[in-house]
Structure 1
């Protein structure tokens, strides 16, 4: 009875637009009231226990490093390098959009930050070249979804933390899926540009001098994820220590190497990190209490028994989870869904022989699709507001991209080697 009231309360509070973290806390408090077995202090204790973890600091560190990178001057160098390597391709600016997302993913770990930055930098230029504004905005929003699955994506760290899955393995596993998604998007941009005659004129390839000049400017950014992933994978440092190194790396680049970060920028980035980090930590604290209640009521075990009793093959399991996450992603913010759903899904994986690392990449990518779908798609609203695109135009333009994202999710689900190849060869 208390569990049912808690779930109904949560849905009602989210529906009336109460912030998600407070919706979860309030619904768990209601559970304690109706359960009659617990004191209110238990809720506080469970929330605090969710934050008493050293690995959790990795989220804050990587978030801080990503924000700091935005003030180092490295973004414009990556943009220049992306323009050089995509220049001969039809739809070159669209190809730059996707390529820059891949390059920036290894720095920021935040899809909202990347989407915001590229909406300001690239969409106006794409419009001048004849691209439709809604298409440009939808492409920018979709390419930002590469960010959560390429290390050091914050979503990877959260899934690893909540599910007790190796963050190093998740980092390795996200590289090829991220590149796969980028290739699918670039192929679509190629044919879209051909169809609409956008930047299809023959252009000279970049000279070796131009290429190496652009590479020299971008090399510090390109080395960053290699250092982080390699250090974690080969046991040089933990994920948390890697986050601290990432912050130091960003500070050295901004203050010493490029000297483009001012004291004002440093203070602004610290304040931004505190605001963003506090919101995520509050969600994690609330989600920990919520997950404890679900475990207490044996919800994961009951779900596992019900689903494994109905579904007999891994393929059907992946399809069912895909459909479920597409719906959930439309209504629940991604970080919240990771906190709540990860403890529910992981106990089922053993029944189907699915590796948690493989599932984690599929889970995060599929859940990310909800960021560009109504009614609460965060990336959809952020990019549309920056570019001045009507939501109805964005939705229409995003349909082909949503189809591509679903195809990418299915490829990752049914071809485990895409995710598991790198973690396997670097065991």
Structure 2
């Protein structure tokens, strides 16, 4: 009875567009109110306990590092490097969009931050080159979904923390699927540019001197993901310590090497970090309370029994989960989905013999797809609001990218070595 009331209230608050953190808190309070066996103090304890964790500091540190990148001159150097790499390809500016998302994924860890940045920088330039605004916006939004699975993606850390899975293994597991997504988008852009005859003219070959000049400028930034992953895998530092090192590294580049960051910019970056981190932590706290409610009612165990009874094979399990996550992603923000659903799926993975690391990459890709779809797609609304693109036009333009993402999700599900080869090798 109490759980039913809580779920109905949660659904009603979703429909009323109440902020997700407050919707989770209110529905958890309703559960306590209709269940005489517990007091409100327990709920507060669960919320506080949900964010009192050393691994969660990694999220704060990587958010800080990602924001600092935009103030230190790293982003502009990565953009120049991406332009050099894609200079002779058809649709070179659109190819820059794809490559820059992949490179910045290893630095920012946030797909919304990546999408917002490129919407401001690249979409106006793409329009001048002849691309439609809807296509440019959809490409920017679609390529930003590479970010969550490229280390140090915040989603990877969150899943590892909640599911008690090695964050270092999650970082390694996301590299090959992220590269596959990058190549898939680049192939589609190539075909699109040829078909519409955009940026297909021959261009001068990049000189060796210019190549090494741009590589030199971007090299120190490109070194950061290598330092993070290598340090974690060789036991030099933990994921949390890696986040602190990333912050120090970003400050070192901005203040000492590039010398482009001013004190006022540092203060602005720290204020932006506080706002972003506070929004994420309150969602984690609220999600922890609601997850406690679900665990108390044995919802994970009941769902596991139901799935095992009606679905016998892991292949069918992946297919059902994909459909379920695509629908859930339309209504619930990605990080919230990880917080709520990870505890529900973990018992099922044991029953089907699926590695949690393998499933984690598939899981994150699937819920990321929902950020591009109505009615609550966060990346969709972020990019459309910045570029003044109508949602209807965005939906049409983004359909090829959605198909690509679903195909890659199936590849990850049915070819485990794509995500497991690097963690198993190292």
For these two proteins, the number of residue pairs brought into alignment is: 426
Q: Whole-Å Cα distance in 1 between the matches of residues 405 and 196 of structure 2?
A: 22
1:334-373 to 2 correspondences below 5 Å: 334-373=334-373
Alignment correspondent of 2:231: 231
Q: What is the aligned partner in structure 2 of residue 191 from structure 1?
A: 191
Residue 162 of structure 1: CA displacement? 0.5
Report the Cα offset of residue 208 of structure 1: 1.4
SS of the equivalent of 1:35 reads coil
Q: Which residue pairs with 1:104 in the alignment?
A: 104
Question: 1:207 aligned to 2:207?
Answer: yes
- Return the offset for 1:204: 2.8
- The structural deviation recorded for 1:385 is 1.2
Q: How does 1:238-317 map to 2 (within 5 A)?
A: 238-317=238-317
- 1:10-25 aligned at under 5 Å gives the runs 10-25=10-25
In 2, Cα distance between equivalents of 1:154 and 1:345: 19
Q: Give, in whole Å, the separation in 2 of the partners of 1:121 and 1:269.
A: 19
Alpha-carbon deviation of 1:221? Answer: 1.0
* Inter-partner Cα distance in structure 2 for 1:421 and 1:202: 39
Query: Which digits, 9 at most, give the CA deviation of each residue in 1:356-402, with x for residues without a partner?
Result: 00100000011000111111111111111111111111011001110
**Paired position in structure 2 for 1:146:** 146
Structure 1 residue ranges, 4+ long, deviating more than 6 angstroms after superposition: none
- Post-superposition CA distance 1:209-251 (Å, at most 9, x none): 1111111000011100000010011100001111111110111
**Does 1:58 find its partner at 2:58?**
yes
- Mapped partners of 1:220, 1:4: distance in 2: 53
CA–CA separation in structure 2 for the residues paired with 1:89 and 1:169: 34
Give the deviation of 1:139 after TM superposition.
0.2
Consecutive unaligned residues in structure 2, runs of 5 or more: none
The equivalent residue for 1:380 is 380
Q: Deviations over 1:131-151 (max 9, x none)?
A: 111001000000000000000
What is the distance in 2 between the residues matched to 1:76 and 1:109? 17
Measure, in 2, the Cα distance between the counterparts of 1:338 and 1:67.
23
Instruction: Compute the displacement of 1:270 (Å).
Output: 0.6
> Residue 107 of structure 2 aligns to a residue in which SS?
helix
**1:177 Cα shift?**
0.5
Distance 1:371 1:211 in 2: 36
Equivalents in 2 of 1:422, 1:332: separation in Å? Answer: 31
Paired position in structure 1 for 2:320: 320
CA distance in 1, matches of 2:324, 2:207: 49
Q: Distance in 2 between matches of 1:39 and 1:102?
A: 47
Q: Cα deviations across residues 316-346 of structure 1 (Å, max 9, x unaligned)?
A: 1001000000000000001110000000001
What corresponds to 2:330 in structure 1? 330
1:105 shift after superposition: 0.5
Render the CA deviation track for 1:105-164: whole Å, top value 9, x for unaligned.
011001111111111111111111111110010000000000000000000000001100
Structure 1 unpaired stretches of 5+? none
Corresponding residue of 1:80: 80
1:5 aligned partner: 5
Q: 1:91-113, CA deviations, whole angstroms, 9 ceiling, x for partnerless residues?
A: 11111000000110011001111
**Aligned partners of 2:194 and 2:88: how far apart in 1?**
13
- Give the 3-state SS of the residue equivalent to 1:332 in structure 2: coil
Alignment partner of 1:115 is 2:115 = yes
TM-score by length of 1: 0.99
TM-score by length of 2: 0.99
The Cα RMSD (Å) is: 0.7
Report the alpha carbon displacement of residue 84 of structure 1 after superposing the two structures with TM: 0.7
1:184 deviates by 0.5
- Of residues 324-333 and 349-358 in structure 1, the stretch that sits farther from structure 2 once superposed is 349-358
**1:40 and 1:74 mapped to 2: Cα distance?**
47
- Greater Cα shift, 328-337 or 380-389: 380-389
Does 1:410 find its partner at 2:376? no
